[in-house]
Structure 1
Amino acid sequence: MRILTLCIALAGSIGLVSQALAVEGGPDSSQLEKGAYLTAVGNCVSCHTRENGKAMAGGLDFETPYGTIYSTNITPDAETGIGDWSLEEFTVAMRQGERPDGSHLYPVFPYTAFTKVSDEDVAAIYAHLQTLDPVSYTPPENDLGFPYNQRWGLKVWKSAFFDEGRFEADPAQSAEWNRGAYLVEGLGHCSMCHSPRNAAGGIDDELVMTGGVYMERVEGKLSAWSAPNLTSADNGLGKWSHEDIADYLKLGFSQRSGVFGPMNNVVVNSTSHMSVEDVSAMTTYLQSLPANSQPAGKPASDDVLRAGSVQYDIHCGTCHLPTGEGSPETGPPVLWSPVVLDVDPSTLINITLYGAQLPETAPSAEWKSRGWKRMESYANKLSDEQAAALLSYIRSAWGHEAGAVTPEQVAEQR
């Protein structure tokens, strides 16, 4: 919520940064290098680049419950991009979700997280973006029905679900923890996907980082994907070590899991480019999140679980082992996997039906030489009932307490 005194203070700080940029004809190489790094941390290229389109020129479609929203052109093209934007205007967009003409940005653009970013970092990102090749491209108009196509209504939404303000370090925590919190909660905007939302599209504050659902393509069709719990709950990262999390983010795989599906873009375009120190800081912060989770559904009946056990022995036990622990030579563990135990099983169903959607670009040399092998598709081997029974079984075996998967859920993902 914008308060007059905050606006005055912000205007003053932006003015100082503008003056700094003007010294000696513009930003120096160190600021540009920092801006390029921070742009990768924010994963800007993944959201602002459509399939087969020019980098940062926008046009990527986001399917929401309210309609389709297209990302904007953030190249320095003067007509269709942000080439005519001042640093002040860019900062207001990043932190307050407003375009230079005063209209509100849809919160698909994560200004609710970017509002935490410092003056220095916003200025560096702006400086870097202004050095990109300008691309003349106007993304399609958003396809939203009434009243969601009325941008003025976002002022009401912001008053309920948006708190404007910079990140404040916690003096009781270490420098590493604070750096990790700044990255995860700010530029990393992890909560945007990994948190449930209410009917109005606002994040549920009591369940932040306990998992969310969004739409992404798989095998060419739009499908629901679930982003798992990132808190220290047992159905989240509670069983993962610091090395497990850090390796996954930096290398694209760890002893626990390998990257696939929508996380490909996050790791390939963002976290794999981050320093070891910053990835470690993010990991430290994530491991400090108190255990929290959404209510688990009811388990399947004994008959379904027995049928699922048979399907597991036939199709899964060889690679993931009868214990679910997996092995480096065969396949990753399904034991205490956040994907397996996610309250919403959409991602688990997707990987079962379609196999692992691995990145086309290797996130690291280690991933290419030592990463997990690709899981095959079982869409033609399992009926909806068989797949539901199998997945219900692994969600209840070995001490797991996740809810049943229904044939209807499998059919919807299929």
Structure 2
Amino acid sequence: MNQRRVSLLMSLPRAIAVLTLVVLIASFVFVVVLQPTMDTGSGPIAQPSSDANALIQRGEYLALAGNCASCHTAAGGEYMAGGLAFDTPFGVIYSTNITADTATGIGSWSDRDFLNSMRHGVRANGDHLYPVFPYTAFTQINNDDLAALYAYLMSVPAVTRENRDNDISFPFNMRSLMAFWKLMFFKPGAFEANDQESEEWNRGAYLVEALAHCSACHTPRNILGAEQERMKMAGGEYSDTVAPGVSRPWSAPNLTASTRGLGTWSEDDLTAYLKTARNDFLESFGPMNEVIMHSTRHMSDDDIQAMAVYLKALPTIEPPEPVEPDSIIVLGRGRTIYNLHCGTCHLPTGEGDPEMAPRLNKGSLVAQADNPASMINVILYGPEAPKPALSPKWREAMEEFQYILDDDEVSAVATFIRHSWDNHAGTVTPEQVARQRWE
């Protein structure tokens, strides 16, 4: 027997051992990592209710607090039947049918299937869900409330509507990879009260962090789409419509106690805004309209107050120090444009007029935001009024300036507003304005 053959025979057991080890590791990865975590318990997920109607009514209130309809009801579509498009950095994802239809909705799901979707981000068939569905927040909803939500959704009239396939680029269209994402960024578990805080604070924390999932929009995300915990509630960016069928970035303001965030608002300012879409600073516009009109205005006064208490207690996260503009060129040009197009209603002081226009001076979270996307959208397209319409507050609606001002002019006037009076925000560039235009 030649030496090479002897060497191969001697290495065969080692090769088999290595191969076996690889198979074992691969099996471990598949079973422990790629297989989703699920609750496999038996029996009801919460103590059965003796009053089915009361449970459904409670679930309806919780669905309002979670604003389920805004995401699961497409424009012109049937209630909770899905089909709304979400434009993400990874592709377009469509919301699903969550009516009680057994073929295309969730009518065939058990209450435990529903719990697994909310707490673990897993479909009834075991597939991972994308976190566009904010199970990263919903995981904190307690079992009693999940049981009520399930009862309500099972009472929603069934609509047969096939779910639309997502349009996600490779490799993000591989749902199995979400297992690794969850290992890095997701911690499942129901909300736990803080014994050091009041009952009202804890109720507010539960509503803000779990049901209302405020951080989903108001927290910046990393390159993989996960919320940056160290910047929690310091302001985020997401894509939403600026015109029918057209999406552009929007910026959600800083909700911490920053001087450029909620630090300038009182609890009364915040409760008025969440309950009526208005306060002394502004009237709701854009994507926040749906949050208020479909959700928070229907919530109890006690719950709105609890949310305000919790939000006002958030620790301060200040944005980076803004870049100072060229005071001669940019601010001078911006002042001229402001006086010509804005000053009559918003006043030369930026304090606004109760009958003409809201305040732009210190206290406007949009004007003070680190990211100027929402402010640019308002200048270009005008503020979208809430629907259903509120009683008139201003004599005239603000006009859109997309056809009146070019990118340089919009950037100049936005920069002037953000650096005048008591405001101290960042410079807006023509490139930032160009990104927001759609025609």
2:319 paired with 1:294: yes
Quote how far apart the aligned CAs of 1:158 are: 0.3
Report the Cα distance in structure 2 between the residues aligned to 1:296 and 1:41, rounded to whole angstroms. Answer: 35
Aligned pair partner of 2:146 in 122, 133, 140: 122
Q: 2:114 aligns with which of 64, 81, 90?
A: 90
Spell out, residue by residue over 1:176-219, the C-alpha distance to the aligned partner (whole angstroms, 9 max, x if none): 11110000000100000111000011111110111111111112
1:256, distance to aligned residue in structure 2 (A): 1.1
Aligned counterpart, 2:162: 138
Counterpart residue number, 2:295: 270
**Offset from partner CA, 1:23-72 (integer Å, 9 cap, x none):** 6xxx5221111100000000000000111111100111101000011111
1:406 matches 2:429: yes
Distance 1:104 1:40, change over 3 A: same
Q: Which amino acid aligns with 1:173?
A: E
Task: For residue 125 of structure 1, report the CA deviation from its aligned partner.
Answer: 0.5
SS at match of 2:262: coil
The CA deviation string for residues 350-377 of structure 1, in whole angstroms up to 9 with x for no partner, is 0001111112313xxxx42547853221
Q: 1:239 and 1:376 mapped to 2: Cα distance?
A: 27
For residues 299 and 339 of structure 1, what CA distance do their matches in structure 2 show? 18
Unaligned runs of 5+ in 2: 1-31
| Equivalent of residue 148 in structure 1, options 164, 172, 175 | 172
Pair 1:327 & 2:314 matched: no
- Contact 1:299/1:401 (<8 A) preserved: no
Partner SS state of residue 125, structure 1: helix
Instruction: Please tell me the residue identity of whatever aligns with 1:314.
Output: L
SS of the aligned residue for 2:48 comes to helix
Aligned residue in 1 for 2:413 = 390
AA aligned opposite 1:305: L
User: What residue is the counterpart of 1:228 in the other structure?
Assistant: 253
The CA distance in 2 between the partners of 1:176 and 1:231, in whole Å, is: 18
2:271 is the alignment partner of 1:246: yes
Which residue of structure 1 aligns with residue 91 of structure 2?
67
Query: What corresponds to 1:348 in structure 2?
Result: 375
Taking the aligned partners of 1:294 and 1:137, their CA distance within structure 2 comes to 44
CA contact (8 A) 1:253 1:371 kept: no
From the superposition, tell whether residues 244 and 372 of structure 1 become closer, same or farther in structure 2 (CA, over 3 Å). farther
CA–CA separation in structure 2 for the residues paired with 1:206 and 1:182? 19
Letter in 2 for 1:179: R
Question: Which structure 1 segments of 5+ residues have no match?
Answer: none
Q: Does 1:368 pair with 2:391?
A: yes
SS in 2 for 1:133: coil
| Number of positions where the alignment pairs a residue of Structure 1 with one of Structure 2 | 400
TM-score normalised by structure 2 residue count: 0.88
With over 3 angstroms needed to count, the CA separation of the structure-2 counterparts of 1:203 and 1:172, relative to structure 1, is same
Secondary structure of the corresponding residue to residue 20 of structure 1: coil
Match of 1:306 among 319, 332, 344: 332
Q: Are the counterparts in 1 of residues 44 and 111 from structure 2 also a CA contact under 8 Å?
A: no
CA distance in 1, matches of 2:394, 2:182: 43
Could you tell me which amino acid in structure 2 is paired with residue 20 of structure 1? P
The answer as to whether partners of 1:179 and 1:278 remain within 8 angstroms in 2 is: yes
Task: Output the CA distance in 1 between the equivalents of 2:64 and 2:40.
Answer: 27
- Take 2:184 and 2:367, find their aligned partners in 1: how far apart are those partners? 34
Query: Normalising by the residue count of structure 1, what TM-score does the alignment of the two structures yield?
Result: 0.93
The CA deviation at 1:296 is 4.2
Kindly provide the CA deviation profile for residues 323-366 of structure 1, in whole angstroms up to 9, marking residues without a partner as x: 1111212211111211011111110000001111112313xxxx
1:99 partner amino acid: R
Is the alpha carbon distance of 1:244 and 1:292 closer, same or farther for their aligned partners in structure 2, counting shifts above 3 Å? same
3-state SS, counterpart of residue 69 of structure 1: strand
Instruction: Please give the residue correspondences for 1:1-40 in structure 2 after superposition, counting only pairs within 5 Å.
Output: 15-17=43-45, 20=48, 28-40=52-64
Q: Which residue of 1 aligns with 2:225?
A: 201
Shift of 1:243: 1.2
Distance apart, 1:174 and its partner CA: 1.2
- Counterpart of 1:261 (choices 265, 286, 293) is 286
Whole-angstrom CA distance in 1 between matches of 2:113 and 2:128:
13
Q: Aligned AA for 2:427?
A: A
Distance 1:238 1:148 in 2: 38
